[in-house]
Structure 1
Amino acid sequence: MTRQLRAFVLAVEVVAIAGSNCTKKTATGPQFEETVLEEIDDVLPNPFKGFVTWVGDENPIYDTKLQYRTYEWRDIEPEPGVIDWTEFERGWGDIALTGRRVGFRISACTPGSGNPYDIPEWLVQEGVALRPYSVDGHEGLAPDWDDPRFLEAHRRLIMALGARYDRDDRVAWIDVGSYGFWGEWHVWRNEALAATQATKQAILEVYFEAFPTKPKVIAFDDPFAVKWVTSRGGGIRNDCLGTEEENNWYLYALSQVDPGLNDQVWKRAFITGEFCGGYRGAMEGTLERFELNYKFIQQTHWSFLGPAGGDLRPLSEEHRRNLDKLHKTLGYRFVLRQARYSRSVKRGGRLDITLVVDNKGVAPFYFPWPLVVYLTDSQGEVALQRETSMDIRQWIPGRHVASDKIEIPENLSPGGYDIRIAIHDPAKGKPGILFANAGRDQHDRYVVGRVRVE
């Protein structure tokens, strides 16, 4: 870091300590200008973070950008190799319009589903054995996970899902499911139903083969599976948030896999989950046990929460403040603190720009979305648009300084231009992430300064 840049960062820290929220420009010498940018406290409808509802449901308060569904295998493949895509995508809505991407899980055994068993009837007719279980007041029949016929049919299903959804921008992430009760990788109090390690690995492998690019998470209940998935870049799902005992159990389970696992996985993959106890558990977890769960989510670096807890209607002003605070903390929250940029630049030269950004959330943004710089004229028209080399995936919680040099074309008309920035959603080719700053224009870009082109 140069002496000038080090002084610039120090100046930003002094401004932050002073508590200034104003947008102002300060002179730093003949070559550069600096702009201090105003922070806002709004809840922002950003992608891949916040609250998650069930597919087709809406949060009564927030513009949420994630929805979730668990699919019983028997409901989506009525005949061998015939997947009911209409049923699978029922309730998704127009995601290109709403931005409400989907996460999903496949379950082959869902206690409480209302079905005696949750694999397709044709698979039972092919001879896959069913074995009785009893858990949480529910009784039913689980498949023999080790049966080669089960594994082969399961492989075909997951490969077909991957062929359709691995590169589908409508899908946000995949739960690595299929095994255990609710696809959660446990057979609690029914240990005689457990699969062999070879079977577990076969199920895990097909998910990673079918979905090589899509983010994947797995429930934390099976140490072998958690180690296998996280060692290959996958994340973790905790489906039992809520009480001190439950939260401590999660940390203990991770420590048995690797004492450093809680501090490692979130830096490269999603951590997510929901409250135990459905609606009641979520209400208690965001009211009388809010501070306990808020600190736990900070400690374990969750990106999003739900469906249990993802669609609550606040019961009081205090409850609303709790939910606002939680939503803003989940995942990432980028705040532009200051911009430093060339005061003027010659055509054919380069515009130097440095940004100081705070991530006030608890996790990074995990996708290589580009930060784009625009020069706009006095009418607001774009005269220049360039992707920078700044890698927003590196903006883990804390302060970051990012710099780049923007090539100015020889044929750009001389004059004064506003410098605007935005983070683009590559699937749409336009801004897709909001900063927690004032000054957003109608295209979700932010003015950070002004430069003269000579």
Structure 2
Amino acid sequence: GEVSDWENIDNIVNASGVGTELYAVQDNRRLYTLIKGTDLNTNNIYYIDSDNDSNTGYNIEGLWSNAGIDYIVESGKLYQLTGSNVTTDKNLIGDVYTYYTSTAVEMYLNLDQIGKSQPGNMKIACIGKNSIDIPAITESMASISKTIVREALSDTFYPDEYYGVLNNPYMGCAPWAMNPKEVDLGSDYPQTHKLVYAGISWRELEPAKGNFDWDGIEDKYQFDLWEGLGCKINLRIVMDTPSTVDHLDIPDWLYEEINQQGTHYDSSIGKGFSPDYSNNDMISEHQRMIQALADRYKNDPRIAFIQLGSLGHWGEWHCWPYSAADSGPTGTFPTIGVSDQYVQHYIDAFGTSKKLTMRRGYGLAKDNQFGFFNDMFGDLPSLQSNGWGWLWQIQNGYTDDLGNEHPAIPDFWQYGPSGGEFANGDSLRYLTDDTIIGTLDQARVSHTTWLGPCCPAKYSVGIYEQRNIDALVKTIGYRYVIESVTHNKSVDATEILPVTINLNNKGIAPFYSDWKLQLSLADSQGNIVTSVNSKEDIRTLLPGRTTINTEMKIHGNVRSGSYTLCVSIIDPDTGNPGIDLAIDGRRSDGRYALDQVEVNGIHSKTQAQNQNQVTGQDITYYNQAVGIAKELGITMGTEKNCFNPKAPVTRQDAMVLIAKALKAAGKHTYKQ
């Protein structure tokens, strides 16, 4: 995505008259391309003559005269052409890397995807925005001859990057947990997602004072379904949701306790009741309700994030429209002295057990490292307009309509998630060929991690906008690419294997939970024989490249042989790998196989060293076992470098030997 990477690469062709240029270059592993121009989008088709031979491949009618096209790239996917010039078919090979802006479109793929084991001459052409021919179709395809030389480092493995959509936790689309208008109850959404949104009204949560309907809530919002599908829940409490009929979103008992204080409204946004948030009974009852919510869910792994709703329409922290001129008023938003009390209820109840997010950049949000959500995502003026745009206010600080000063929090996304939902109830409006670039730009500038409940999850896979949905999902959140792994090719048992991992987070945000990067060794049957968690805090892996220096202790029970070094990120709730990396080599257990490590086990080290340590008649039988025990520090023998296998042993000595053996095997022992 960095156009500056191409500064020393010459373009290979211009699109006459439109100011659009095509660049292409190879290295020892990949073919890279760049389109530079104006008002670009995702609708680009690339044509590749991989063997540089116009007599092979396909000459598509109306296109370049010297074609011989072997492959095409369309909508972020690579196809091989088969059949004949009359009935040419496309066979899907896989995904390619893409990065889109209005002035530059980058695409690259692996050479082995197009049948090449090394760089070589080939030809390329493309049609950008479904209308710009590069080069003109009356000309010849452009030749690619330049190659960047990259020297491979010794003892270094370079995984192949995975270019497809990843379906990872705590990010991506977050559709309704319960919305029969979008998907049948009991059914999943067509598009990939690992989050859902539950906007729960206080009225349904606590229909009678002190009687919380947890079972009803979890049934209505399909907690069991989503848990079974591996989806976590964004949870928001709402007290005022406009609709087509007059109604209450707070319980009847609370309505009476606050003496019906508030505003019944019928406006352009709908009908409803905005309670008097300054009412002392309302405040104290809210504190009690939020504490009950936290007692139920603060340690529940089914819950991803807690959104601070509570105040304003939809829990969005506003009571717009404000005046009769705007078909209002529709309620009174409280002063900061009151609203801070509501915020503090969440802080006191949840602590740091769940990431808290809210709509506005309040001081308490900064002090407690909240994330933020933008419920008008896609609408550019409401994002960045000076003085009142959602992101502008968070980045710069602002004075609200009541005269309250709020701080600048420009780096909030480094410690709290940035989320939101598409504006106007129509996500596809912001995913067309004309709007997708602006949507991607907004995601990048706000470091978006998740979007919902208004999001494209409900649409059938394969619709025309699919490439734009894919482009968005591959952009937001985190996306970990391991570019290289360096380590010694062999290691002795009981020794430490230093490992250097060069990781590139190609997403636009970090991961916000304290999960552990784990290294492991798999034997020839694929069984994990040893593993160790890195001390690296993956929450610090911001977008861009990071070098991780870690190490792996090889336990003495690992026998001699060749092992596969594996890497994974472990979900602490399950103890299993929980995040998909953007590299090839994924095993069925979620670990990623890297390259080989030769382990020199204890038995091979000691075989030649301990020929004269054992006293007794059966020297051959005891020799290897005793040598291993000595090497592991389990026993030092008797005197004069000897061991007497037939001597009696006390129970105390036996327990010492067992404890040392367990420690050498990497097992826990406990003092009692």
Using the size of structure 1 for normalisation, the TM-score is 0.89
Letter in 1 for 2:372: I
Letter in 2 for 1:194: F
Question: In the alignment, what sits opposite 1:142?
Answer: 274
For residues 153 and 37 of structure 1, what CA distance do their matches in structure 2 show? 55
The alpha-carbon deviation at position 252 of structure 1 amounts to 2.9
For residues 379 and 426 of structure 1, what CA distance do their matches in structure 2 show? 26
Question: In the alignment, what sits opposite 1:210?
Answer: 349
Question: In the alignment, what sits opposite 1:283?
Answer: 428
1:137-216 alignment runs, 5 A limit = 137-190=269-322, 193-212=332-351, 213-216=353-356
Counterpart contact for 2:396–2:408, Cα < 8 Å: no
For residues 392 and 526 of structure 2, what CA distance do their matches in structure 1 show? 55
Residue 247 of structure 1 is aligned with which of 360, 365, 383? 383
Question: In the alignment, what sits opposite 2:402?
Answer: none
Mark the CA change 1:63 to 1:246 in structure 2 (over 3 Å): closer, same or farther.
same
Question: In the alignment, what sits opposite 2:588?
Answer: 442
Q: Which piece of structure 1 moves more, 87-96 or 236-245?
A: 87-96
For residues 423 and 291 of structure 2, what CA distance do their matches in structure 1 show? 31
Counterpart contact for 1:22–1:36, Cα < 8 Å: no
1:354-433 alignment runs, 5 A limit = 354-433=500-579
Unaligned runs of 5+ in 2: 1-26, 33-108, 118-150, 323-328, 399-405, 601-672
Q: Which piece of structure 1 moves more, 226-235 or 102-111?
A: 226-235
Higher relative contact order (CA 8 A, sep 6+): 1
Counterpart contact for 1:177–1:185, Cα < 8 Å: yes
The alpha-carbon deviation at position 433 of structure 1 amounts to 0.4
Mark the CA change 1:137 to 1:27 in structure 2 (over 3 Å): closer, same or farther.
closer
Matched, 1:104 2:104: no
Which digits, 9 at most, give the CA deviation of each residue in 1:94-141, with x for residues without a partner?
Answer: 444311100111111111174522211011222432323344342332
Which digits, 9 at most, give the CA deviation of each residue in 1:188-247, with x for residues without a partner?
Answer: 133761223222111000001111110111113xx5xx3321331101110012233222
Mark the CA change 1:211 to 1:45 in structure 2 (over 3 Å): closer, same or farther.
same
Question: In the alignment, what sits opposite 1:219?
Answer: 359
For residues 243 and 125 of structure 1, what CA distance do their matches in structure 2 show? 39
For residues 60 and 140 of structure 1, what CA distance do their matches in structure 2 show? 30
Counterpart contact for 1:72–1:108, Cα < 8 Å: yes
Matched, 1:307 2:453: yes
Matched, 1:121 2:263: no
The alpha-carbon deviation at position 27 of structure 1 amounts to 8.0
For residues 115 and 75 of structure 1, what CA distance do their matches in structure 2 show? 16
For residues 305 and 484 of structure 2, what CA distance do their matches in structure 1 show? 33
Question: SS at the partner of 1:351?
Answer: strand
Mark the CA change 1:359 to 1:179 in structure 2 (over 3 Å): closer, same or farther.
same
For residues 89 and 429 of structure 1, what CA distance do their matches in structure 2 show? 25
Residue 70 of structure 1 is aligned with which of 191, 199, 215? 199
For residues 390 and 137 of structure 1, what CA distance do their matches in structure 2 show? 48
Question: SS at the partner of 2:484?
Answer: strand
Question: In the alignment, what sits opposite 1:352?
Answer: 498
Mark the CA change 1:89 to 1:315 in structure 2 (over 3 Å): closer, same or farther.
closer
Mark the CA change 1:169 to 1:348 in structure 2 (over 3 Å): closer, same or farther.
same
Paired residues in the alignment total 431
Letter in 1 for 2:337: A
The alpha-carbon deviation at position 157 of structure 1 amounts to 0.6
Residue 269 of structure 1 is aligned with which of 413, 416, 419? 416
Mark the CA change 1:101 to 1:122 in structure 2 (over 3 Å): closer, same or farther.
same
For residues 15 and 263 of structure 1, what CA distance do their matches in structure 2 show? 40
Residue 156 of structure 2 is aligned with which of 34, 39, 54? 34
Letter in 2 for 1:378: S
Counterpart contact for 2:519–2:566, Cα < 8 Å: yes
Residue 238 of structure 1 is aligned with which of 359, 374, 383? 374
For residues 361 and 260 of structure 1, what CA distance do their matches in structure 2 show? 27
Alpha-carbon RMSD = 2.4
Using the size of structure 2 for normalisation, the TM-score is 0.61
For residues 440 and 267 of structure 2, what CA distance do their matches in structure 1 show? 30
For residues 418 and 555 of structure 2, what CA distance do their matches in structure 1 show? 43
Letter in 1 for 2:172: G
Residue 172 of structure 2 is aligned with which of 50, 70, 87? 50
Q: Percent identity?
A: 29
Mark the CA change 1:320 to 1:411 in structure 2 (over 3 Å): closer, same or farther.
same
Mark the CA change 1:363 to 1:15 in structure 2 (over 3 Å): closer, same or farther.
farther
Question: SS at the partner of 1:53?
Answer: coil
Which digits, 9 at most, give the CA deviation of each residue in 1:144-173, with x for residues without a partner?
Answer: 111111111111110000011111100000
The alpha-carbon deviation at position 412 of structure 1 amounts to 2.0
More helix by share: 1
Mark the CA change 1:301 to 1:116 in structure 2 (over 3 Å): closer, same or farther.
same
Question: In the alignment, what sits opposite 1:131?
Answer: 263
Mark the CA change 1:193 to 1:28 in structure 2 (over 3 Å): closer, same or farther.
closer
Which digits, 9 at most, give the CA deviation of each residue in 1:57-99, with x for residues without a partner?
Answer: 5664323110002112111101111110022212223444311
Mark the CA change 1:161 to 1:437 in structure 2 (over 3 Å): closer, same or farther.
same
Greater gyration radius: 2
Residue 325 of structure 1 is aligned with which of 454, 463, 471? 471
Mark the CA change 1:161 to 1:276 in structure 2 (over 3 Å): closer, same or farther.
same
Question: SS at the partner of 2:466?
Answer: helix
Mark the CA change 1:260 to 1:438 in structure 2 (over 3 Å): closer, same or farther.
farther
The alpha-carbon deviation at position 376 of structure 1 amounts to 1.2
Mark the CA change 1:313 to 1:127 in structure 2 (over 3 Å): closer, same or farther.
closer
Question: SS at the partner of 1:355?
Answer: strand
Mark the CA change 1:171 to 1:80 in structure 2 (over 3 Å): closer, same or farther.
same
Question: SS at the partner of 1:194?
Answer: coil
Mark the CA change 1:435 to 1:113 in structure 2 (over 3 Å): closer, same or farther.
farther
Counterpart contact for 2:507–2:543, Cα < 8 Å: yes
Counterpart contact for 1:227–1:257, Cα < 8 Å: no
